[in-house]
Structure 1
Amino acid sequence: MDLSFTKEELEFRDEVRAFLDEKLPEELSEKVRIGGELEKEDMDRWHAILNEQGWLATGWPTEFGGPGWSPVEKHIFDEEAAKAHAPRIVPFGLAMLGPVLQKFGSKEQQDEILPRILDGSDWWCQGYSEPGAGSDLASLKTRAVRDGDDYVINGQKTWTTLGQHANKIFCLVRTKTDGKPQEGISFILVDLDTPGIEMRPIKLIEGGHEVNEVFFTDVRVPAENLVGEENQGWTIAKFLLTHERTNIAGVGFSMQGLTELKALARRVKRNGKPLIENPLFAARIAQMEIDLEAMKITNLRMLYTAQTQGAPGPETSILKIKGTVIRQTQNELARRALGPAAAPFPSEDMFGNAALVEPEDVHNAATYFNNRKLSIFGGSNEIQRNILSKAMLEL
């Protein structure tokens, strides 16, 4: 197995770098670099630039409007975009629903929905988690009862990321109550303007509004919005989560985070010396870098498997576990490096010390607290270890 890039892949990397250098707006890149909160307009702007280039749906085949990239080319693009501080592509329509429709959706659903994802007409959010049904997703209780040509939905979803920007939501709903819980779940598409839907914001610890809870009261949804067959939702959910977990790993973002952490450790001084010269702190960075290099190799091996044998299976849980732990470790070490300056609201006198506080440092606490979610969403890391022990180790 040769994990080095080919000549053609290196040429593709140069093309990506040239595109990012020319087309990525400097103000967007700077906002991402310092950890500022992106507005919907920021995300839409970057999506439109990528769509014009034909590079928005990086994982889609050409027949559905994607660039038809190989898994390695997609990896190269993600890595270079992270280095350039490009806004992360909102995944719900492009990396989650899109692949689901391409595999399980009807021809009518594909023809109607996929182009609207690409041109930005529809902004999708994900309706999976519920109170009491997060990591244990099979215990979800939101019901969808068939009534003529409609399903009538009642229930609640929570932690709906960026739902305040969305006009559509794809949901897992219970369509059968007897038998194994996994056998009674269906996957359905819902217009958020439908009567009976209420979305409420959930304020985060740092004051931001990123997630929501959604209530469904006698919401009537056309039966044609069902994706796949009734009670096939668990199979579709597992397929979607494989894509989500690989995306959560964020190898490129971890690599860029390591570069920034090292720069911070060179800038901050303890006892008159750069923090990176402190043996204990340097050892912590070294251990994290070793873990990151191991994850990069694992990621490349999985890309090779995907390119030669098709989509990987439960081994994506490895990337989800290691990727999220590494990013949380980076956040923790950055807070250790900043010390009191990592407080959520640094005092004004700190800004006079240019060697201590830079614009990106001000958002450190918000990033740290927000990223505690990484090891929970997409299936908690504890659940991922169960998957690996059962599916790969046969325990």
Structure 2
Amino acid sequence: MDYRDTPEEAAFRATLRGWLTENIPAGWDKVEDPEAAARLRRSWHRTLYQAGYVGMSWPVEYGGRGLSATYDAILNEEAGNLNAPPLPSVGYLGRAIFTYGSEEQKQQFLPSLLSGEVQWCQGFSEPEAGSDLASLRTTAKLDGDHYVVNGQKMWTSGGQYADWCMLLARTDPEVPKHKGISCFLVSMSEPGVTVRPIVIASGEAETCEVFWDEVRVPVAQRLGEPGEGWRIAMTTVAYERGPADIGFIATYRRTLAKVERMAAERGLLDRPETRKQLARAYVRGEVLRLNCVEQLAARVSGQQPGPEGSVAKLLWADAEQSLQHLAMDILGADELTGVESGWLSSYFTSRPVSVYGGSAQIQKNIIARMLGLPR
């Protein structure tokens, strides 16, 4: 495959780059107040939507532009290169709704999801069902024309700001665990929903635990058929990665350049070990980039994302954690004494990358099955 832009893609990239240069909010990455940061994310979402840059690869009938995933990748790359605020993550949730939802659900939920008017979170993981998601214990029992939900979800990113939640709950305890799960679209304002932010090692409360106590959910808000939750979850997770990783690579390269400059300022580039670590960081980034463009090529050719996304997850975690570790090695005590700031928080933020979204051990098991290795 030729990875160079077509004339149409090159023209789109040039227009987009100019638009981003004019519209990226100044000082967005210096905002420390969580509430202000949440407002900025919503405003940025609306700005992108109004310019036509949200959901570009969605079908036209659901508010998209019907473009290939390449255009989403270009957006992510340019946004990463220009240090734009994080792009709204609507693609994977939208994919689940317009793949499994009823026409009424599509009309109700997709327009506001795309525009950013309504914010969503993902109620999948639980205290004892993270990577082993099929072991979840939150229940949804049918009671007339409602389901009654009880349980707890953990590591719900952005739950304190979300209006709605895509929730997995067990509806049939008598069948094998993968087959007894259903998916629901639930308002976070329903009585019985309690959200408690969790402060992680970086000092930020970017994730939450959510308690569900006798929460009544209309049958009409079940997504798909009863017992189809696992299949819906796998579709959601599969589309969670892909073009967005291109943006991570651009951010990774910027960070690597900063780390190299810090090493130069401290006279460390003559040290063989430092040069070796920087070279390895560059190679890790290139390996991840090539893996991402391979997946993007498959997506553009019409292939559905599959378990090979586990390879990208492992490469991403290794690259990010290694780079942040290298930054701390180069900084030494400067981060703690105030000569430099922000790097310790970034280091702590990188540590759970190999756990959330499926731990490294789970990803390796998936890859082993792909290769036909013995269990």
What TM-score range do you get, normalising by the shorter chain? Answer: over 0.9
Which residue of 254, 258, 262 maps to 2:257? Answer: 262
Q: Match of 1:190, SS?
A: strand
User: Is residue 206–residue 369 contact of structure 1 (8 Å, CA) maintained in 2?
Assistant: yes
**Deviation of residue 48 (structure 1)?**
1.1
1:177-207 Cα distance to aligned partner (Å, 9 max, x none):
1121000000001111111111112122232
Name the CA distance, whole Å, in 2 between partners of 1:235 and 1:188. Answer: 13
Aligned residue among 350, 357, 360 for 1:381: 360
> Residue type matched to 2:14 in 1?
D
Q: How does 1:44-83 map to 2 (within 5 A)?
A: 44-83=42-81
The Cα of 1:268 is off from its aligned counterpart by 4.2
Alpha-carbon separation, structure 2, partners of 1:154 and 1:263: 47
Q: Give the deviation of 1:382 after TM superposition.
A: 1.3
155, 158, 164: which is aligned to 1:159? 155
Deviates most, 5-14 or 297-306: 5-14
Looking at structure 1, the residues matched to 201 and 326 of structure 2 have their Cα atoms a distance apart, in angstroms, of 20
Q: Report if aligned partners of 1:242, 1:313 keep a CA contact under 8 Å in 2.
A: yes
Percent same amino acid at aligned positions?
35
Q: Are residues 293 and 327 of structure 1, via their aligned partners in 2, closer, same or farther at CA, if it must alter by over 3 Å?
A: same
SS at match of 1:26: coil
Which residue of structure 2 lines up, in the alignment, with residue 319 of structure 1? 312
- Cα distance in 2 between the residues matched to 1:283 and 1:95: 38
Between the two proteins, the alignment pairs up a number of residues equal to 373
Q: Which amino acid aligns with 2:19?
A: F
Q: Give TM-score, length-normalised by structure 2.
A: 0.93
Q: Provide, for residues 145-191 of structure 1, a one-character-per-residue CA deviation record: whole Å limited to 9, x for no partner.
A: 00000000010001111111112111110001112100000000111
Q: Which residue of 1 aligns with 2:5?
A: 5
Q: Matches of residues 228-267 of structure 1 in structure 2 within 5 Å?
A: 228-246=224-242, 250-267=245-262
Please say if residues 246 and 320 of structure 1, whose CA atoms lie closer than 8 Å, have aligned partners that are also in contact.
no
Q: 1:1-395 alignment to 2 at 5 Å?
A: 1-28=1-28, 30-31=29-30, 39-91=37-89, 94-246=90-242, 250-268=245-263, 273=267, 275-343=268-336, 346-347=337-338, 350=339, 357=340, 362-393=341-372, 395=374
Deviations 1:219-269 (A, max 9, x none): 111010000000000001111111124377x34323333333333332445
Letter in 2 for 1:365: L
Q: C-alpha separation between the residues in 2 aligned to 1:334 and 1:265?
A: 9
Measure how far apart 1:394 and its partner are: 5.3
1:87-117 CA-to-partner distances (Å, cap 9, x unmatched) read 11242xx123211011111100000101111
C-alpha distance 197-36 of structure 1, shift in aligned 2 (>3 A): closer
CA distance in 2, matches of 1:61, 1:336: 47
**Partner amino acid, structure 1, of 2:322:** T
CA distance in 1, matches of 2:303, 2:262: 45
| Unpaired stretches in structure 1, ≥5 consecutive residues | 351-356
How big is the alpha-carbon RMSD for the aligned residues of Structure 1 and Structure 2? Answer: 2.0
Letter in 2 for 1:83: N
Quick one: distance in 1 between partners of 2:67 and 2:313? Answer: 22
Given that 2:183 and 2:232 are in contact with CA atoms closer than 8 Å, whether structure 1 keeps it comes out as: yes
Partner of 1:354: none
Contact 1:288-1:329 at 8 Å conserved across structures: yes
> What secondary structure sits across from 2:240 in the alignment?
helix
Deviations 1:295-345 (A, max 9, x none): 2122112111111133221111111110121111121111112111223xx
Amino acid in the other structure paired with 2:248: F
Worse-superposed segment, 130-139 or 197-206: 197-206
In structure 2, the CA distance between the partners of 1:363 and 1:247, relative to structure 1 (3 Å rule), is farther
Task: Give the 3-state SS of the residue equivalent to 1:244 in structure 2.
Answer: coil
Q: Is the 8 A contact 1:254 1:327 kept in 2?
A: no
Secondary structure of 1:246's partner?
Answer: coil
2-structure distance, mates of 1:2, 1:208: 42
Judge conservation of contact 2:149–2:212 (CA < 8 Å) in 1: yes
Q: Which amino acid aligns with 1:136?
A: D
CA distance in 1, matches of 2:323, 2:259: 11
**Distance in 2 (alpha carbons) for counterparts of 1:173 and 1:99:** 20
Moved more, 15-24 or 276-285: 276-285
Q: Which amino acid aligns with 1:3?
A: Y
